[in-house]
Structure 1
Amino acid sequence: MRMLYLILLFTESLQLQCDKKHITQHVGGEINLICYYDHRFRYSKKYWCKGNSGNTCTILVDTNSKTDATHRSFIAEEGRGLLRVKVKDLTLDDGGVYWVAIDKMYADVMTSVNVVITEVPVSKPMLRPLSSLEDGSTCRGNPLTVRCGPTEGTGVDYAWYQRTQHNQFVLQYSSDLYLKCDMLREDGDYYCTASNGMSSQQSDVLSVKVLMPAERGCKYVVTLLGQPFYDCEDKTSTATAKPAPPTSRQVTMTVHSDTTKRSLPINQTDPHPFLSRAWTGVPCWYTLLRWGSFVSLLIVLCVIVKCTKGRRKRAKRKRRACTRVTAQLAN
């Protein structure tokens, strides 16, 4: 009896064969299956069904009529002895045992296919503020929502972490981080993780500098790599957070919290114009002293040169007079 069963199974395998026996796909993907059958069954009905047993499986679609209500399954003749099965937009519920079968009197010809559906691995999550960072709203104590989300991934679970100078802990399990005054007591870094059954990824760091902690009317600056931020000290300019030099750990940009240092207005009048700085940045009295010393030096040099020339002329006249006297005495 066992031998007869093996013979029948071998005979059926010759009558119907598919190019895959095991298929692994991710959510959102599709199944493409090519099967070959004996040309004697060219005009027989072929069908695609799901179930652990070929005798009790549920028919999803056949070559005569489509029975799949969602229209995601497809089976069709591709030529003499060639059959194609296709299932698109896969979900986790699509995993299981399937059967490609040929309708035959007394006993259908069937071959099984095992399908495994997995989650799509998550990519690196991106942080996106839901309101602009360059309008200075955080300088007025307004709340800010930052959303974490990967570009790829299914069945994603989120977690937000806070890292301070003293410790690190899980803040919440959600995709959105809501920053508000009553939770900002000190400076800290925030980042999120996105994970599923296939992989886990961590986002860039969101840096929060608390300038004035308070339950109401706090003042803080949020910086995020590649995002513009408002300088609460300057109150006139914005900047963009840039990548830090490559190190073993990422360094985030911070904004100085010393709000007492202010630059003087450029149109302020100096009460002592003589002591004020010139265009070159040097005091006027120093400039006058320097040029006066230079002129005095020139005068001294001119006097020395003039005296030296006069002394030489007198020496020449004396030599000439001595020469004449000597000539007269010789005559």
Structure 2
Amino acid sequence: MRAVCNRGEAGEATLQLHCNKRDIRAYIGGEFTIICTYQSKFLFSKKYWCRGRFQYNCDILLDTDGVAKPKNKNRLSISDVQRYNIFVKVTNLQIEDSDVYWIGIEKMNADIMTSIKVTVTLVPVSKPRLWPLTPLTDSPTCWGKPVTIRCGDAKGTNVFYAWYQNIHHKSFLLLNSSDLSLHCSILTEDSDYYCSASNSISNAQSDALSVKTLLPDDSSCIYVANIPGQPVYDCADRMRTTVAETSPTTTCIEATKIPSEISEQSLQVNQTAMHAFFSRLESIFLLSA
């Protein structure tokens, strides 16, 4: 069925049929409802929802008699209720639904019609959040174990995730993925990371993931990963244990052992000297007497 209307009746249509929305912008997967009021003389006239750029050659998708295009049956409704109101509701919107539509009332010779412009776009992305797949409060990083940080929960359509690393105030793309794996072989110094969520119409950036490398090592490093909103922890106990294990040992100097023949010789010399001392002392005593 095609609706036929003279072009010159646009002003008259506005007076006889008035809708609360004429320009609708919605996101994919969303919905909208239009309410239109009409004059009482059209109470028993058929109403319809029609698609097409030109009002005199549009395609009727649904009318108040229940006639509908098969593919629109489950997500499109039109109702004519009391007080001269028409309700049109469209759900599960898709990009291809963007077009010019018309709400019409059948009338002898020329239908009464009002145009509705519908634009459907992708849902813009929201700020993604970060969380560890392994609880950091169990301190796996303090023992050099790898952990995976996931980026996600961003609202949006066809969201694409990527990880970046900040080095000397510059950002470098690490990988195109929602998951970042931290392990000893890549952790040589302190660094910050962030995740980017994007689609064709917008992008958003996560909070920073701060990684502190306390003890670099290819296999048994010690590091701390701090994520905003996650419990804070440190590796103080592990660092104390590591310091104790690597403390330098005290060097003892072995006492030098004197050979016995040298000791006996020294003793004989000492005895001779003592004998001479006492003999001299005795001579002095006799002279004074």
Whether the TM-score (by the shorter chain) exceeds 0.5 is yes
Change (3 A) 1:83 1:221: same
Change (3 A) 1:183 1:55: farther
Distance 1:53 1:143 in 2: 62
2:4 matched to 1:11?
no
2:164 matched to 1:145?
no
Residue in structure 2 matching 1:221, options 218, 224, 243: 224
Secondary structure in 2 aligned to 1:134? helix
Tell me, yes or no, if the aligned pair for 2:55 and 2:102 is still in contact at 8 Å: yes
Residue in structure 1 matching 2:177, options 174, 178, 183: 174
Residue in structure 1 matching 2:97, options 66, 91, 94: 94
Deviation at 1:21, TM superposition (A): 1.7
Residue in structure 1 matching 2:243, options 251, 260, 267: 260
Distance 1:100 1:119 in 2: 25
Match of 1:30 in 2: 31
Q: % of aligned pairs identical?
A: 47
Residue in structure 2 matching 1:207, options 182, 206, 210: 210
Q: Which amino acid aligns with 1:148?
A: C
Which residues of 2 match residues 1-331 of structure 1 at below 5 A?
7-65=8-66, 67=68, 69=72, 71-104=74-107, 107-150=110-153, 152-165=155-168, 167-196=170-199, 199-228=202-231, 231-235=234-238, 259-260=242-243
Secondary structure in 2 aligned to 1:171? strand
Deviation at 1:132, TM superposition (A): 0.8
* Cα deviation 1:175-207 (Å, max 9, x = unaligned): 322323443333211112334466543222111
Distance 1:80 1:41 in 2: 11
TM (norm. structure 1) is: 0.60
Distance 2:125 2:163 in 1: 16
Deviation at 1:149, TM superposition (A): 2.7
Tell me, yes or no, if the aligned pair for 1:122 and 1:150 is still in contact at 8 Å: no
Match of 1:322 in 2: none
Secondary structure in 1 aligned to 2:11? helix
Distance 1:215 1:106 in 2: 85
Higher relative contact order, chain-length normalized (CA < 8 Å, sep 6+): 2
Distance 1:82 1:188 in 2: 62
- Bigger shift: 209-218 or 114-123? 209-218
Change (3 A) 1:58 1:211: farther
* Cα deviation 1:259-286 (Å, max 9, x = unaligned): 4257x9xxxxxxxxxxxxxxxxxxxxxx
TM (norm. structure 2) is: 0.68
Change (3 A) 1:181 1:104: farther
Q: Which amino acid aligns with 1:260?
A: V
Gaps of 5+ in 2: 248-289
Distance 1:51 1:179 in 2: 55
Deviation at 1:87, TM superposition (A): 1.9
Distance 1:69 1:219 in 2: 60
Tell me, yes or no, if the aligned pair for 2:131 and 2:227 is still in contact at 8 Å: no
Deviation at 1:70, TM superposition (A): 5.8
Q: Which amino acid aligns with 1:227?
A: Q
Secondary structure in 2 aligned to 1:260? helix
* Cα deviation 1:67-106 (Å, max 9, x = unaligned): 3546222210122432111223434333221111223455
Change (3 A) 1:228 1:13: closer
Distance 2:119 2:154 in 1: 23
Match of 1:303 in 2: none
Distance 1:70 1:39 in 2: 28
* Cα deviation 1:42-81 (Å, max 9, x = unaligned): 2232121323233554433321216354622221012243
Change (3 A) 1:103 1:166: closer
